[in-house]
Copies of this chain bind each other. A is one copy, B any other.
């Protein structure tokens, strides 16, 4: 991309920012209509001036907003003017749909212009054959770089890193370094630090750009570099790398191979995406949904939601069989059937409050052996206080409703028992799952509900059976 080309793109993107979005953050309907008409009319002039020059994330939003067949038509019409980077901003299903409709030669030509991390992001979803065909059409160094990144495991730092970076030897002066950057054409599109390496590419240190700018020309870079810079092993999981960024407020970090040689750089913009994804993953898992995307089909979505429903169905039958133990009691006192969902449901709500706090605290590493005991005691206290509070409330209402003090007393006791059990289940189940190496966000809810349902039904119906049958 030429200097002028880049500047135009940036200016346009920002001038248009107010233009293409409506108040609520969605793309303006009249802009969508104009784009739709331009696609139908094959109006290349309009598309080049108003679509091709959008910022990659705006183009991504536009692609998501238009109809599937318009997407293919748009990308075909724009041809080389279509910025492939926009595909890193859309749902996986949409990305695959578009890439499958593009000739491999066109993808190969476009991939050469991308930053390596964006190129890898697009290539990693393709099937093996297409990927190899595209790689084969790239220049040698480009191909080697991308293949190296693709060889690292999925979700590793090596997959997310950018292989373009500026590296200089330690004996260079600040002046030499600046002169090199002024003359060299082939620099990364943007960067915030440069790396200092020895002749074997072993990482020696890092220098932030502001440090270079504050330092006199004759000073050697080795005297201003920082020695250890959280080098990130390429094999490290991206989530762990993101935690390092958060903890030490990094903007970018060197990625090194097993021999501590510099192979790439991980930048904060990719890390922000990882942080978002991880937080979203926890939320989705707690809600019983997996990696689904809004663009998934009906069948894909149904299928992905079946496992969680199936496991919950099993626990529902367990609670039903607990109820069936007390068939005879319910037959005599139907009020029990009316009230029992309250006991189970309130326990479930209290349990999910505690569980949510626990799962989140485990994910952010705020809960560990040093405070687990204190937090568990707190949750026990909360369970007791709210158990007493809501137990008495429900008991009073139930006694008035059914004009029966004993029913009020029974449900108060059962609520207290169940809300305490809920608190204990909400804190211990996620911790035990975490200790066992499982992801507490995935399976905690099922276990907690199983415990609050069975405890709720068993305590209420059991107490009632003992009371009514013995009196």
User: Which residues in A have some Cβ–Cβ distance to B below 8 Å?
Assistant: 7, 10-11, 13-15, 17, 24-27, 29, 32, 55, 57-58, 64-65, 178, 181-182, 187, 190-192, 208-210, 212-216, 226-230, 243, 245-249, 251, 268-269, 271-272, 275-276, 279-280, 282-284, 286-289, 292, 294, 296-299, 301-302, 305-306, 308-309, 312-313, 316-317, 319-320, 323-324, 327, 330-331, 334, 337-342, 344-346, 349-350, 352-353, 355-357, 360-361, 364-371, 375, 378, 381-382, 385-386, 389-390, 393-394, 397, 449, 453, 457
Contacts and interface: CB of A to CB of B under 8 A. Distances in A.
What's the number of copies of this chain in the assembled complex? 2
A380 to B, nearest CB: 9
Contacts of A457: 341
Nearest to A14: B228
B320 A342 contact: yes
**SS class of chain A's interface: helix, strand, loop or mixed?**
helix
Contact of A287 (B192, B209, B331, B355): B355
A201 to B, nearest CB: 21
Contacts of A11: 226-228
Contact of A323 (B26, B29, B229, B341): B341
A294 B251 contact: no
B338 A324 contact: yes
B287 A346 contact: no
A280 to B, nearest CB: 6
Contacts of A65: 368, 370-371
A403 to B, nearest CB: 13
A107 to B, nearest CB: 23
A289 B361 CA distance: 13
Q: Pick from A10, A210, A216, A229 the residue with the most CB of B within 10 Å.
A: A210
